Amino acid sequence: MKANGEEYTVADGTVLSDWLVSQGYVLEKTAVLLNGNVVPRASLNSTTISDTDCLEIVSFVGGG
């Protein structure tokens, strides 16, 4: 799988939210494109990923 340009190995059927948390992302502050399609935050727990997928991940950071 490719995520933000880096290669990762994941087992077929890996749940997207589990993978994101394992990589240190905070789900409430993260937006994901899976193979070019936006994944609604409500679907992160039910979306699975595999080695052939491509993710673009953006984390929002507050400032001020």
Read off the pTM: 0.91
**Is position 44 within any domain?**
yes
End-to-end CA distance of the chain: 35
Domain-embedded: residue 41: yes
Measured distance CA(15)–CA(58) in Å, rounded = 18
Q: Is residue 29 part of a domain?
A: yes
| 31: in domain | yes
Cα–Cα separations (whole angstroms), residue 6 to 2, 19, 46, 56? 5, 14, 23, 10
Q: What is the pLDDT of residues 12-23, one digit of tens each?
A: 899 999 999 999
Work out the pLDDT band at 6, boundaries 50, 70, 90: very high
* 26 domain residue, yes or no: yes
pLDDT in tens, 21-60: 999 999 999 999 999 999 999 999 999 999 999 999 999 8
- Please report which confidence band the pLDDT of residue 62 belongs to, taking 50, 70 and 90 as the band edges: confident
Q: How many domains does the chain have?
A: 1
For residue 60, what pLDDT is reported? Answer: 86
Say if CB 10 and CB 51 are below 8 A apart. yes
For residue 64, is it within any domain?
A: no
Q: Which domain holds residue 51?
A: 2-59
